[in-house]
A and B are shown apart, each in its own frame.
Chain A
Amino acid sequence: MTTADMHSHMPRTTRDIGNAWDRMVAKRRLYTLIGLAILLFAAVSSAQYADEANAGHFFERLPHLFDFLSWLIPKDWADVWRALFDIASPNHTGGEEYNFADGRVYVSGSFYVPEYFELMITTINIAIVSTIIGFVFAVPLAFLAAKNFSPSWPLRMFSKRVMEFLRAFPEIVIAGLFSAVLSIGPVAAIIAVSLHTIGALGKLFYEVIENTDMKADEGMRSVGGNWFERVRFGALPQVLPNLSSYALLRLEINVRASTIIGAVGGGGIGEELKLSISRGFGAKTVALMILLFATIVAVDQFSAWLRRRLVGEHAFLLQH
C-alpha cells in the first residue's frame, strides 16, 4: 500500500470524522442490541422451561403465593417467644407443634439452654471451625500457588489444581460421604464446608500474595533467608490483614453454608428449620427465622466491624 492510498482512506474533513464516528457508534449499538436480544430470548425461554419443569406453575400458584402466611402467622404471638426460649405453651396438646419445653438442653440443675439456641450455636461452631481449618490449610497452599513465592512450577500447578478441585466439588457429596462414615451429624458438615473453604480462600489468598510488594522479600533474600523466612518476614506481615479480612468474609458465607448443609442432614439449625417449614409449624418457623436472621445480621456486622479495623474502608466482593 502506498502513501497515496493511505491518504485517500484517511478522513480529510471534520464531516468524514463525524461519519466514521457515527458508523462506529451504529455498529456498537447493533452489537449491543443483538446481545440484549439473545439475552432476552435466553431469559424468556429459560423462564418458560423452569415453569414447565416445576411441579406447580407460576401463574397457577401465584394467587396462592401468600397462602403460607396463613399457617406461618401463629395463632398466639406469645408462642413465638415460648418456642424461642423453650417455655411450655398452653396450646400444647401432645403434638409436636407446641412441644416447646421438650427441647430444653439442661446444663446444670434447672438451668437450660433453649433447643434452638443450642442448634444455632452448633451451626455457628460449624462455620467458625470450618473457617479456621480452611484458613490454616489455605495459607500454605496459597504460598505454593503464588507466582512470586512458589518454590517450583509443578508444585504451583498442583496446588492451584487442588484448590480449583476443592472449590468446584459439590459440598453435599462430601457431606453425604462423611455422614455415611461418621454417622449423620455436624462433623460431616464441618469436613464438607472446610474443604470448600480451603479452595475458595486459597484462590483469593494467592491473588493477594501475588500483589504483594516484593521489596521486603528482596531484603530477606539479600540476607540469605530461606523460603520459610521469606514467607514469614517478607510476605506475611503485608498480607495477613488482607487474608484475615477475606477469612472473616468467608465466615459470613460459611454461616449460611452450614445452615444449608444442615438442612440436608448436617445437623444444626438448618435441619430443624426445614422440618418445621415442611410440617407447617408456624410459631416454630417464625422463632427459627428470627433467630437465624438475627444471628446472620450479627455475624455480618461483627465481621464488617473487624474487617474495617483490619484493612480500613475496603469494599470486598462477596464470593461464595
Chain B
Amino acid sequence: MTMTMIHASRAQEIEERYPEYFKRSFKQRFGALMIGCGTLLYMLYAVWFFDLPKLVAEAHWERFGIYLSQWVSYDVQPELRLQGDGSIRVWYPRFSPLGDNPHPDWMVNNADGSVSVLINGTSRTVTAGNKQATIAAHGETYTIDMSGENPRLVGQAPPWMKVYDDNIMVDLGFAGDASISSNRVKIWKRFIGWPNFFFDTRSPFFDKPAGEVFSLILSGPRIEPDQSNLSLAFDNIWNNGAWQHGDVWTKLFQTIVMAFLGTLLGAIAAFPLAFLAARNITPNRLLNQVLKRFFDFLRSVDMLIWALFLTRAFGPGPLAGSGAIFLTETGTLGKLYSEGLENIDDKPREGIKSTGASTALVHRYGVMPQIVPVMVSQTLYQWESNVRGATIIGAVGAGGIGLKLWEAMRTNTNWANVGYMVILILMVVFLFDAASNALRSRLMGTNKAATSH
C-alpha cells in the first residue's frame, strides 16, 4: 500500500483551515472520557452502596439451578418406614402426583421383605431392609445401620453423602436425593415434565393414556350418569387442583381486561382534555398550563400509588387495577395527545376556517383527520405496554395474574406453576405486540413516525 506523504507546510495549511477539527476544546476532547469515568465511579459507589461483595458471597447460587430445574421437573417423595416387626411400609404424602394408590415400577419389593427404590435405573438405588439401609451409587455400596437411636454409616462417607447427628443426606444428583433418619428413609425422586397437567389424581381420567381418554370422551360409556364425558373432562381440566387452570386463565383474562379498560377509559378522558390543553387549539394559557400540570400530576403519582389507594377503596381485584391504569393513562395519553395536537399542520384548519365553518366543524375536518391516526397508534402502544404493567401492579393486590404469580413464587415450592404462568404471560404479550404492531402499521402505512416522531 502506498501512502502519499503530506508536506509539512500543506499539513499546517489544512490545520489552519479547519481549526474546529484540529484544536478542539477541552470539553470536546475529554468530555466523553469524563462521562465514562464518572459512570465508572458511580458504579463503584453503587457496588459499595448495595454491599455487593457481601451479597454475592452469601448468595445461595445453588438455589438458582434448583428453582430453574423445578420449572420443568417435579419430585415424588415416598417414605420407607421401618415397622416394629421389621417389615417396611411405603408411605406417600397427601397430594402426591402419583395418586392414592401408586405402584410405580421404580419401587421394587424384594424377596427378603426389603424395598428398593431405583433412583436412576439400577445404577443408583436405595434399599431399606431389616434395620438397615443400603445405598448403591457410583459403583460403590454403603450400608447404614439403623438399629440404634440414630442412623450410623458403616465405613467412610463419600463426598456425595453428608452425615449429621440424627440424619444422613444422600445426594444422588438430578435424579434424586435420600434422607435417612432413625427409622425412616425419605426419598426425593425427580422426573422431568409437568405432572398431571390435564387431570389431577381425583379425576376419573387420571393416569390414563391419551388414546384411552379420547376414546372415552368420544364414544365411551358415561362415567358420571348426569354429565357427558366431554363436559366431565373439561370440568376436571378446568378445576385441576395442582395446576388450577381455571383460576390461572381467569386471572390472565382479568389482567387483559384491566389493561383494555384502563387504557380505553384513559383515552376517552384524555381526548377532550387534550384539546383544551393544546395551546394552538384552545388559546387560553392558564387552562393549558393547568391541564398540562394535571396530566403531569396523574403520571407522576404513579400507577403503584393509585393501585394501592384503589385497592384500599374498592378491595383487591381488577376494578382497582383498571382504575389505576385509567388514572395514569389519562395523564400519559393526555400529554401525548396534546403534544400531538400542538404539532399538527395548521393549513387544513385555516382552509376550513376560511369557508366560515363553525369551531366544531373546523376541529372535525381540520384537526381530526391529522390527529386520529397518531392518537390511535399511541393508544395501541400504551395498551400493549399496559398489559405488561398490569401484571406487575397485580402483585400489590390490584387483581389479575400478578398476585397469583407472586404467591406461587413466595412459597418457593411451586416453580412449575410459575413457569406455566410465565409462558402464558409471554404468549399474551407477544400476541398483543403482534396485534398492535399490525394494527399500527396498517393505520400509519409505511410511516414510522408513530414510534419515534
Residues of chain A at the chain B interface (Cβ within 8 Å)? 39, 42-43, 46-47, 49-51, 53-58, 61, 64-65, 67-68, 122, 125, 128-129, 132, 164-165, 168-173, 176-177, 180-183, 185-187, 190, 204, 207-208, 211, 256-257, 259-261, 263-264, 270, 273-274, 277-278, 289, 292-293, 296-297, 300, 315-320
CA of A179 to CA of B442, assembled, Å: 43
Given contacts A50-B261, A55-B316, A317-B452, contact A289 B39 (CB under 8 A): no
B179 CB contacts on chain A under 8 angstroms? none
Q: Is the CB of B422 within 8 A of A169?
A: yes
**Across-interface contacts of A187 in B (CB, < 8 A):** 50, 52, 55
Closest to B49 in A: A125
The answer to whether A50 touches B258 (Cβ under 8 A) is yes
Contact of B304 among A61, A129, A208, A256 (CB under 8 A): A256
Is B381 located at the chain interface by the 8 A CB criterion? yes
B55 / chain A contacts, CB cutoff of 8 Å: 182-183, 185, 187
Complex Cα spacing A50 to B52, Å? 43
Q: Tell yes or no: B129 within 8 A of A by CB.
A: no
- Asked if B451 and A207 make an inter-chain contact with CB atoms under 8 angstroms apart, the answer reads yes
CB atoms of B422 and A46 under 8 A apart: no
Chain B hits for A277, CB < 8 A: 308-309, 312
- Count residues of chain B with CB under 8 A from any CB of chain A: 80
Contact sample, A vs B, 6 pairs, CB 8 Å cutoff = A43-B264, A54-B315, A55-B315, A169-B422, A173-B405, A320-B386
Q: How far is the CA of A57 from the CA of B405 in the complex (A)?
A: 24
A55 cross-chain contacts in B, Cβ below 8 A: 314-317
Q: In the bound complex, do residue B426 and residue A168 qualify as a contact, i.e. CB atoms below 8 Å apart?
A: yes
Q: A317 — which chain B residues lie within 8 A by C-beta?
A: 336, 378, 381, 450-453
Q: Is the CB of A132 within 8 A of B257?
A: no
Q: Which of A170, A207, A320 contacts B425 (CB 8 A)?
A: A170
Residue of B305, B378, B425 touching A289 (CB-CB under 8 A): B305
Tell whether B192 is near chain A: CB-to-CB under 8 Å.
Answer: no
> Any chain A CB within 8 A of the CB of B145?
no
Report the bound CA distance from A51 to B322 in whole Å: 10
Q: What DSSP secondary structure best describes chain B's contact surface?
A: helix
- Cβ of A310 to closest chain B Cβ, rounded Å: 12
CB atoms of A170 and B388 under 8 A apart: yes
Q: How far is the CA of A46 from the CA of B385 in the complex (A)?
A: 19
Flag if B319 contacts A51 (CB, 8 Å).
yes
* Residues A168 and B388 in contact, CB atoms below 8 Å apart: yes
Q: A183-B58, A263-B308 are in contact. Are A173 and B395 (CB under 8 A)?
A: no
List the A side residues contacting B58 at CB < 8 Å.
183
Which of B304, B381, B429 touches A319 (beta carbons < 8 Å)? B381
Q: How far is the CA of A54 from the CA of B39 in the complex (A)?
A: 46
- B contact residues around A129 at 8 Å (CB): 43, 46, 50
Kindly list chain A residues whose C-beta atoms are within 8 Å of the C-beta of B393: 260
Q: Are A259 and B39 in contact (CB under 8 A)?
A: no
B51-82 contacts to A (CB < 8 Å): 52, 55-56, 58-61, 63-64, 67-68
A-chain residues with CB within 8 Å of residue B429 when the two chains form the complex: 168
Would you call A132 and B43 a contact (CB within 8 A)?
yes
- Give chain B residues whose Cβ lies under 8 Å from the Cβ of A289: 301, 305
Given A128-B42, A181-B61, A186-B50, answer yes or no on A172-B318 (Cβ-Cβ < 8 Å). no
User: How far, in Å, is B158 (CB) from chain A's closest CB?
Assistant: 28
Per the bound structure, the CA–CA distance linking A61 and B309 in Å amounts to 13
Asked if B107 is an interface residue, CB under 8 A from chain A, the answer is: no
Asked if B430 lies at the interface with its beta carbon under 8 angstroms from chain A, I say: yes
Say whether, besides A50-B261, A172-B405, A319 and B385 are in contact (CB < 8 Å).
yes
Which B residues lie within 8 Å of A56 (CB)? Answer: 313-315, 317, 319
Q: Which B residues are CB-close (under 8 A) to A256?
A: 302-304
**Contact between A274 and B308 (Cβ–Cβ < 8 Å)?**
yes
List chain A residues, Cβ under 8 A from B402: 170, 172
CA distance A167 to B320 in the complex (A): 25
B260 adjacent to A68 (CB under 8 Å)? no
The contact of A58 among B319, B332, B378, B406, by CB within 8 Å, is B319
Interchain CB contact under 8 A, B451 and A260: no
Residues from chain B with Cβ under 8 Å of A293 in the complex: 300-301
CA distance A67 to B313 in the complex (A): 8
A171-B392 in contact (CB<8A): yes
Are A292 and B305 touching (Cβ within 8 A)? yes
Known A-B contacts A125-B49, A208-B452, A292-B305; the reply to A315 vs B315 at CB < 8 A is no
Known contacts A263-B396, A277-B308, A181 near B60 by CB under 8 Å? yes
Q: Contacting A173 at CB < 8 Å: which of B317, B318, B422? A: B422
> Which residues of the other chain, B, contact A173 by a CB distance below 8 angstroms?
405, 409, 418, 422
Is B10 in contact with chain A by the CB < 8 A criterion? no
**Are A61 and B312 neighbours in the complex by a CB distance under 8 Å?**
no
Asked if B171 CB lies within 8 Å of chain A CBs, one says no
Question: In this assembly, does B254 line the interface, its C-beta being within 8 Å of a C-beta of chain A?
Answer: yes
Please indicate the chain A residues that have their CB under 8 angstroms from the CB of B305 in the complex. 273, 289, 292
Within the complex, what minimum Cβ distance (angstroms) separates A116 from chain B? 15
Given contacts A170-B405, A263-B308, contact A297 B300 (CB under 8 A): yes
Residue of B nearest to A180 (CB): B63
Q: Report chain A residues within 8 Å CB of B43.
A: 129, 132
Contact of B260 among A46, A64, A168, A274 (CB under 8 A): A46
Are B336 and A318 within 8 A (Cβ)?
yes
Complexed CA–CA distance, A260 and B422 (Å):
19
Partner of B453, one of A51, A58, A261, A315: A315
Asked whether B389 is an interface residue with its Cβ less than 8 Å from the other chain, the reply is yes
Closest residue on chain A to residue B331 by CB atoms: A318
Q: Which residues on B sit within 8 Å (CB–CB) of A270?
A: 304
Known: A39-B264, A292-B305. A172 touches B315 (CB 8 A): no
Q: Which residue of B lies closest to A72 (CB)?
A: B309
> By the criterion CB–CB under 8 Å, are A181 and B257 in contact?
no
Which single member of A67, A168, A190, A208 contacts B433 (CB below 8 Å)?
A: A168
Contacts of A274 in B (CB 8 A): 308, 396
Residues of A contacting B300 with CB < 8 Å? 293, 296-297, 300
User: Are A172 and B392 in contact, with the CB atoms below 8 A?
Assistant: yes
Assess whether B261 is in contact with A53, with CB atoms less than 8 Å apart. no
